[in-house]
Amino acid sequence: MFDYPAHAICLLYDGRIIIPDIIFNVGIAVAYFAIALGLRIVTRRTTMILPFRTMITMFALFILACGVSHLTRIGTVLFGGWFYIFDLVTCGLTFFASIATAVLLLKNGRKLLKLTREIIEVSSQ
C-alpha cells in the first residue's frame, strides 16, 4: 500500500539537487522551530499579552507544523513510502492551524492595533 517511490527518482538521484534541498529544508525547519519556541517563551513569560495568548499559541503551532512539513518533504525525497502519508497528515494539521490562526488574527486585529497604539503612546512620552 505504501510502496510509492521516493521523489529522488524524479530528480535522477542527482546529489547537486538533493543535497542542497535537504540542507535548505533542515535549515528552514530549524528556523521555524526556533520561532515557535520563541513565541512559546513570550506567552509564558509575559502577562501583558494575556488576551492574545491563544492567538499567539495558535500561530506557534502553525509555525511548528510548517517546520515539520519541511522535514516530511525530506522524507518523501529520500524514502517515499509512508512518508507521503505522514506528509499529507502534516499538511492537514498545517491547514487547520493556519485557518485557526487567521480567524483569531482577524477577530483580534483591532484589539491588537489598539494595544500597539497605546504602547507607542506610552513609550513616546
Q: Contact, 25 vs 82, CB < 8 A?
A: no
Q: Is the pLDDT of residue 87 over 90?
A: yes
Q: Contact, 65 vs 97, CB < 8 A?
A: yes
Q: Contact, 83 vs 76, CB < 8 A?
A: yes
| Model pLDDT, residue 77 | 93
pTM of the model: 0.83
Residue range 36-46, pLDDT digits in tens: 999 988 888 77
Q: Contact, 36 vs 60, CB < 8 A?
A: yes
Residue range 37-82, pLDDT digits in tens: 999 888 887 766 566 888 888 999 999 999 999 999 999 999 999 9
